[in-house]
Amino acid sequence: MSQLTLRLLRFTYKKLKEKLTVSDSKALFHEQFPFVIPNLYKRIVDEMLVELNLLNHQSEFIQDSYFCVGLSETFKELTNGYEPKDHLEKLFNALCNSTNFSPDEILKISEATIKSHNNKNLEEISNKIIQESSEKVYYSRILILGIYKIITLANDFKEETDISKLEVLTKLANELNLPLTKVEKDISIYISNLKKFEQAKELLRETILSEREKRKKIEK
């Protein structure tokens, strides 16, 4: 039996017996994803791993359908442009497996939830979210991002501004007794970070193109 197999077995045993520490999760993640992560995505992956690990320690945390949407959809957005693309599935699996979540279950629930909310207007979607949410919703950034992603599916709401979407989300969060200050802060930061992320990717593309042009001139 290889050392890698032994380490994985030890982590699996620990997962069954007790909660993994952040260090445990990081070690297990790197065992399952032994590839170099581009600098642009390192911080994103680290933050998601820590967030998932900490959530797993909360006794009141519930992995509901909107949490699954939040995790799968934000992962897609925040890893947009990641190369090589064929590493993305392995990366998502490693993030989930190393923090006691099932990647297959997360993706299956997310896909079904998105499908069940398609072709509906904002009022229908809002009512559906309220009906399907548990009486006591455990707040997390990933959960509220999942709800945010779902309301943007509304067929009468897709062209609205970010501010309008946030206003609607705030009203819905109030119905669900979620902390409004955290909701507004988490969504605003996420939208801002997405814009900064796109700018960083564009700058990186321009830098790469510039370096290629320089090499071509030198080679001539």
**CA-to-CA distance for 148 and 102, rounded, in angstroms?**
23
* Whether residue 165 has pLDDT greater than 90: no
List the alpha helices (DSSP H) in 79-179: 88-97, 103-117, 122-132, 141-151, 162-175
Kindly compute the dihedral angle of the four CA atoms of residues 171, 176, 179, 184, in this order, to the nearest 10 degrees: -40
The residue that leads in pLDDT, 158 or 80, is: 80
pLDDT tens for residues 125-153?
A: 999 998 888 677 889 999 999 999 999 88
| pLDDT value at residue 68 | 97
| pLDDT value at residue 19 | 76
Structure tokens at 200: 């960083």
* Whether residue 13 has pLDDT greater than 60: no
| pLDDT value at residue 210 | 66
* Whether residue 220 has pLDDT greater than 90: no
CA–chain centroid gap for 214, Å, is 37
3-class secondary structure, 203: helix
pLDDT tens for residues 33-68?
A: 999 999 889 999 999 999 999 998 898 898 999 999
